[in-house]
C-alpha cells in the first residue's frame, strides 16, 4: 500500500468514527500515533494498519505538520473581512497579562472584567459589552433597561457572607457573579452569596452567576445559579475588540490574554502559534460571527 492510499484509508476510518463523540482528524491521528508507538518492532506485527501508520506517517512527522499548517492557512484565507478583523484582534503583541505573569491571576481578571463593563456602561466602549454580559448570566430581557447608564457595577463588594467578585444592580434586577480561575468553589460559598443576594435585592429579581474556565468542576451546591465560562465571555466580547488604538485595542490585548489562558492563541503573532492554537483561534472567530 502506498502512503497516499494509506492516508485515504485513514480518512475513511476517521469519517466513520467522527460522527460519534466528535473526534477531530488531528486527535484521531494522535490516538493512532500513541497506539503505534507501543507496537513491537520485531517484524511480527499484530496490527498491520497501525504498523503501516508508524512506518508511513510517524516516520515523516514534518509532512503531517505541514499538512496541518496548510489546513490552517487555507482556513485563514477563506475568512470573511469581519472574521479577519476578529483574528487580527488576537494577533497582537504583546498581550496584556502575559508579560507580567498574570494570565492565571484571578483578581486581575476580575478587575479587568469590571473595568470593561464600566467603560461599556459609560459609553467609552460599545454598550453591547454590558448587554452581552447580561445575556451570559441569563438576565430576562424584560428586566434589562434600555438605558444601562444607571447600572451600578461594583467589584469585590463585601457582605457578611463574604466578598462577591462582581455586583451589578439595575432598577429591576441584581446580579452577583463569582469568578474562578484555577480554583474551586469555597465551602458553602454560593449558598452564602445567595443569602447576601436575598438580603440586598428587596423586591428586585436576583441572579447568582458562576464564571469558570471551560471544563472546570461545577459548583458543589444546590443553590440555583447560572454557570458560564471565560470562553463564553471571550466569544461574546471579541467582536468589539480592535487591533488598533484606544480602548477597543486595550480590550483586544486583554482578550488575547484570555485566549492564551484558554489555549485559543499563543504568545506573539499567529504564524508562531502551535497548530492546535491556530486551529482553536480560527474556530473561535468562526463561532463569534
Which element (helix H / strand E) includes 11? helix 3-17
- Mean pLDDT within 165-173: 96
Q: What size, in residues, is the chain?
A: 289
The reported pLDDT for the residue numbered 169 is 97
Q: Which residue has the higher pLDDT, 17 or 115?
A: 115
The reported pLDDT for the residue numbered 38 is 61
SS3 152: strand
The reported pLDDT for the residue numbered 72 is 82
* Integer Cα distance of 55 and 175 in angstroms: 58
C-alpha to C-alpha distances, 81 to 15, 169, 172, 285, nearest whole angstrom: 31, 37, 39, 11
The reported pLDDT for the residue numbered 203 is 95
Beta-bridge mates of residue 177: 166, 209
Greatest Cα pair distance, the chain, in angstroms, is 77
- The predicted model scores a pTM of 0.76
**Does position 95 have pLDDT exceeding 80, yes or no?**
yes
User: How does residue 285 score in pLDDT terms, banded at 50, 70 and 90?
Assistant: very high
In the chain, domain spans: 1-59, 104-227
* Integer Cα distance of 99 and 89 in angstroms: 17
Amino acid at each position: 500500500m502506498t502512503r497516499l492510499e494509506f492516508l485515504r484509508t485513514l480518512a475513511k476510518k476517521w469519517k466513520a468514527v467522527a460522527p460519534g463523540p466528535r473526534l477531530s482528524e488531528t486527535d484521531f491521528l494522535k490516538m493512532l500515533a500513541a497506539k503505534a508507538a507501543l507496537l513491537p518492532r520485531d517484524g511480527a506485527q499484530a496490527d498491520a494498519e497501525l504498523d503501516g501508520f508508524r512506518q508511513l506517517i510517524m516516520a515523516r512527522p514534518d509532512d503531517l505538520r505541514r499538512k496541518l499548517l496548510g489546513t490552517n492557512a487555507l482556513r485563514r484565507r477563506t475568512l470573511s473581512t469581519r472574521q479577519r478583523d476578529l483574528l487580527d484582534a488576537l494577533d497582537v503583541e504583546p498581550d496584556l497579562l502575559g508579560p507580567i505573569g498574570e494570565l492565571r491571576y484571578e483578581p486581575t481578571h476580575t478587575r479587568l472584567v469590571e473595568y470593561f463593563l464600566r467603560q461599556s456602561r459609560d459609553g467609552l466602549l460599545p454598550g453591547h459589552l454590558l448587554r452581552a454580559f447580561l445575556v451570559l448570566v441569563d438576565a430576562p430581557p424584560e428586566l434589562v433597561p434600555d438605558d444601562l447608564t444607571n447600572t451600578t457595577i461594583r467589584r469585590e463588594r463585601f457582605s457578611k457572607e463574604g466578598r462577591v467578585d462582581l455586583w451589578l444592580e439595575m432598577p429591576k434586577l441584581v446580579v452577583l457573579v463569582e469568578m474562578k480561575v484555577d480554583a474551586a468553589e469555597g465551602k458553602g460559598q454560593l449558598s452564602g452569596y445567595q443569602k447576601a443576594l436575598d438580603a440586598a435585592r428587596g423586591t428586585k429579581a436576583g441572579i447568582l452567576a458562576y464564571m469558570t474556565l471551560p471544563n472546570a468542576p461545577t459548583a458543589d451546591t444546590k443553590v440555583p445559579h447560572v454557570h458560564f465560562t471565560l470562553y463564553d465571555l471571550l466569544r461574546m466580547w471579541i467582536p468589539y475588540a480592535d487591533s488598533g488604538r484606544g480602548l477597543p485595542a486595550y480590550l483586544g490585548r486583554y482578550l488575547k490574554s484570555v485566549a492564551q489562558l484558554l489555549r485559543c492563541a499563543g504568545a506573539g503573532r499567529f504564524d508562531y502559534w502551535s497548530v492546535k492554537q491556530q486551529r482553536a483561534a480560527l474556530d473561535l472567530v468562526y463561532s463569534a460571527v
